[in-house]
């Protein structure tokens, strides 16, 4: 898997989860609910991983869409 995809299976899974969480956050779902719906163990793990991956906290990311409903996904 790692040779074909260039990332570990766990990293791939976390990437899929973050992308799903982004969609939920864009719809106004609270970060704790997005974390639970996308399989993260807790909000802390979710927030840390999301910030490392995206560069924003889940709430900061969500606020982009609250302030500008026409914003495109990152």
Residue 36 belongs to a domain with what CATH number?
1.10.10.60
pLDDT recorded at residue 69: 58
Residue 2 lies in a domain: no
CA 48 – CA 24 distance, rounded (Å): 17
Q: How many C-beta atoms surround the C-beta of residue 35 within 10 A?
A: 24
Q: How many C-beta atoms surround the C-beta of residue 12 within 10 A?
A: 14
Structure tokens at 22: 């982004």
Range of the domain at 24: 10-67
- pLDDT at residue 73 above 60? no
Give the 3-state secondary structure of residue 29.
coil
pTM tops 0.85, yes or no? no
CA 18 – CA 23 distance, rounded (Å): 9
Closest alpha carbon to 13 in 63, 53, 51: 53
pLDDT recorded at residue 23: 97
- pLDDT at residue 74 above 70? no
Read off the pLDDT of residues 14-63 as tens digits, 9 standing for 90 and up. Answer: 899 999 999 999 999 999 999 999 999 888 999 999 999 999 999 999 99
């Amino acid at each position: 898997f790692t040779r074909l995809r260039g990332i570990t299976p766990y990293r791939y899974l976390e990437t899929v989860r973050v992308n799903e969480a982004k969609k939920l956050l864009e719809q106004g779902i609270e970060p704790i609910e997005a974390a639970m719906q996308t399989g993260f163990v807790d909000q802390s793990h979710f927030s840390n991983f999301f910030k490392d991956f995206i560069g924003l906290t889940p709430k900061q990311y969500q606020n982009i869409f609250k302030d500008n409903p026409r914003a495109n996904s990152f």
